[in-house]
A and B are shown apart, each in its own frame.
Chain A
Amino acid sequence: DGGITQSPKYLFRKEGQNVTLSCEQNLNHDAMYWYRQDPGQGLRLIYYSQIVNDFQKGDIAEGYSVSREKKESFPLTVTSAQKNPTAFYLCASTSYGQGGSPLHFGNGTRLTVT
């Protein structure tokens, strides 16, 4: 079955460490997105990529970095510069990102930094 796989489901890190969240899709989608969700809040866009080897900052990109070396993969690195990294991270993709094409989401990674 086609879909988006995020791993791991839960991630624990010490403050000051960088951590990379994995996102892989086999839907042959061109566009991929990373969102952050805090308790009781909506989703906020961190980074997105519409084509391999290109990506753009979203609304809250500070303290994060991404790469898009393959169409299927869009990993997110949470750096030590991110002041409040503890959150639920969702990766999404869509076929052409226009009109009514919905975003398809992975099951998320819950990151806890202590």
Chain B
Amino acid sequence: AQKITQTQPGMFVQEKEAVTLDCTYDTSDQSYGLFWYKQPSSGEMIFLIYQGSYDEQNATEGRYSLNFQKARKSANLVISASQLGDSAMYFCAMRVFSSNTGKLIFGQGTTLQVKP
């Protein structure tokens, strides 16, 4: 079965510090992609970063980086220099390419609160 697991329902971080949000995935396919989205309290889903299963380098986008450990099937999101505006819910998601559907499978999410 294909599944995404986010084990941290809630996290706190001090402003300007770095924080890691955990994500593990389960698939027997070799070709897949991993996505992270941010959902503020307004409800919109904002795409943050993508990592393909064959990408050798960890993905980075500004203050976001993805710590991809293929053997452990983990794709943790690292946010550096946290800002108050980073307070939101964060979702990890997976696309399995063999399905040819384009759909994303989402985890339960982690709520991040940044303290001033």
Contacts and interface: CB of A to CB of B under 8 A. Distances in A.
B45 A105 contact: yes
B54 to A, nearest CB: 10
B97 to A, nearest CB: 6
Interface in B59-116: 91, 93, 97, 100-109
Contacts, number: 67
Interface string A61-100: 0000000000000000000000000001010101011111
A40 interface: yes
Contacts of A44: 106
Contacts of B52: 99-100
A48 B102 contact: yes
Nearest to A45: B103
A97 B102 contact: yes
Contacts of A102: 35, 47, 50
A40 B109 CA distance: 8
A99 B106 contact: no
Give the size range of A's interface with the partner.
20 to 34
Contacts of A96: 102
A27 B43 CA distance: 20
B56 interface: no
B80 to A, nearest CB: 21
A83 to B, nearest CB: 21
A110 to B, nearest CB: 8
A31 B50 contact: no
B102 A94 contact: yes
A84 to B, nearest CB: 18
B91 A42 contact: yes
B31 to A, nearest CB: 9
A33 B109 CA distance: 19
A31 B50 CA distance: 19
Interface of A: 31, 33, 35, 40-45, 48, 50, 56, 58, 88, 90, 92, 94, 96-105, 107-108, 110
16 contacts: A31-B102, A33-B102, A42-B6, A42-B106, A45-B105, A50-B101, A88-B43, A90-B45, A92-B45, A97-B103, A98-B102, A100-B52, A105-B45, A107-B44, A108-B43, A110-B43
